Amino acid sequence: MATKGLTGNQLKIIAMAAMTIDHLISVIYPNYPTDWWIIGLHIIGRLAAPVFWFFVAEGYHHTHDITKYIGRLFIFAFISHFAYNFAFGIPFIPFRTSVFNQTSVIWSLAWGLVALMIHENEQLRQWQKTLLILGITAITFCADWSSIAVLAVVEIGANHGNFKKQMSMMMLWVSVYAAVFIIFINPVYGVLQFFTALTIPLLGKYNGKRGSWKGMKWFFYIYYPAHLILCGFIRIALHGNIGVMIGA
């Protein structure tokens, strides 16, 4: 009989589609316009990040080799840095323009996995864990979704099996991100971040199965930088070599 709910692969496809819409709209209509239909498309884009946070945390609990998993993510983060910055017109060398949006969210996801491993390490004392994770939040502050992605991965992973607590803690940190966005970047787009809550019903339908296609992991590793490079060419074709968001 068919398994009810959504597989991991299906959720990742939804997230990738939402992410692509969000990034395309950012390069076609730059600098945070507030037309209702553009905001609506960015709301769809909020479905992406929580899915990736969730499955990085899931990966921690199911991978056969956490060291190789972390290594892959850091290699992926290095490659994605250039694709992400090209997409949005952000200098490849960080901090030449801002402390915000200096590299892709993959940097935070990789460090989020490290932070989760630290959090779950029984040989470390609590004060050691706290200091190490605080250090990780400092070095990921500059990324897309900032250190919030790190803390979301930690909370989702640490509360594995308790979906209600996973999602409530995730939204607590999203609220912090939204507040920073409202104060320092753009109030409308700050409020927009709360629509990540729309992902909760989707994640609630996760049936615990990966899906039949085993190549999804490698497909995402190729698709993520590839779609960003395409966004970069669209940006240049439409606007010239200018930046389209904060950090550019």
In this predicted model, what pLDDT tens digit does every residue of 190-202 receive, in sequence order?
A: 999 999 999 999 9
Task: Write out pLDDT tens, residues 87-120.
Answer: 999 999 999 999 999 999 999 999 999 999 999 9
The whole-number pLDDT of residue 218 equals: 92
Q: What is the pTM of this model?
A: 0.95
Nearest to 202 by CA among 46, 80, 67: 46
pLDDT value for 3: 61
Which distant-in-sequence residues (6+ apart) come within 8 Å of 214 by Cβ? none
Residue-wise pLDDT for 8-31, tens only, equals: 999 999 999 999 999 999 999 999
Q: What is the pLDDT of residue 217?
A: 86
Tell whether the torsion through CA atoms of 130, 131, 134 and 140 is positive or negative: negative
**Percent of all residues in the chain with a pLDDT value above 70, rounded to a whole number:** 99
Residue that the structure tokens 């949005």 belong to: 88
Cα gap 123→121, rounded to integer Å: 6
Q: What is the mean pLDDT of the chain?
A: 96
pLDDT reading at 1 higher than 70 = no
Q: Of 196, 164, 61, give the one whose Cα is nearest residue 117.
A: 61
As a 3-state breakdown, the chain gives helix, strand, coil percent values, each rounded to 5, of 70, 0, 30
Region 180-199 average pLDDT: 96
- State how far the Cα of 108 lies from the Cα of 36, in Å rounded to an integer: 30
Centre a 10 Å sphere on the Cβ of residue 84 and count the other Cβ atoms it contains.
28
